[in-house]
Copies of this chain bind each other. A is one copy, B any other.
Amino acid sequence: MEAVPSSLQAEIQQTTPFRSLSEEAILSILRTADLVRTAITDLLAPAGITMQQYNVLRILRGAGEAGLPTLAIGDRMIESAPGITRLLDRMEAKSWVSRTRCKIDRRVVHARISTEGLRLLDNLDQPLRSSTALGLSGMEESALGQLIQLLAAARQSIQPGEPAAPRQTAKDEEFASKARN
Write the chain B residue with the least CB distance to A144: B21
How many residues of A sit at the interface, in one of the four size bands?
35 or more
Q: A161–B79 Cα gap in the complex (Å)?
A: 34
Of residues 145 to 181 in A, which have CB atoms within 8 Å of B's CB atoms? 145-160, 169-172, 174-181
Query: Which residues of chain B are within 8 angstroms of A12 by Cβ–Cβ distance?
Result: 145, 148-149, 152
Whether A108 sits at the interface, judged by CB under 8 Å, is no
Which chain B residues lie closer than 8 Å to A145 at the CB level? 4, 8-9, 12, 21
List B contacts of A139 (CB < 8 A): 22, 25, 150, 153-154, 157
> A47 contacts the other chain (Cβ, under 8 Å)?
no
Determine which of B17, B33, B129, B140 lies in contact with A19 in the assembled complex, contact meaning CB atoms within 8 Å: B129
Closest residue on chain B to residue A142 by CB atoms: B4
Would you give the shortest CB distance from A145 to chain B, in whole angstroms?
5
How far apart are A179's CB and chain B's nearest CB, in angstroms?
A: 4
Contact A157 B135 (CB under 8 A): yes
Would you call B23 and A129 a contact (CB within 8 A)? yes
Contact, CB under 8 Å: A35 / B158: yes
Starting from the known contacts A31-B176, A39-B158, 20 additional A-B residue pairs (CB-CB under 8 Å) come to: A8-B149, A12-B152, A15-B170, A23-B129, A24-B144, A25-B136, A25-B139, A25-B144, A25-B147, A27-B175, A28-B148, A29-B29, A29-B151, A30-B37, A32-B155, A33-B179, A35-B155, A135-B157, A147-B147, A147-B154
22 A-B contacts (beta carbon < 8 Å): A1-B140, A4-B142, A8-B142, A8-B149, A9-B142, A12-B149, A16-B170, A17-B171, A21-B144, A24-B144, A25-B151, A29-B36, A30-B33, A31-B176, A31-B178, A31-B179, A32-B158, A33-B34, A34-B177, A34-B178, A36-B179, A147-B150
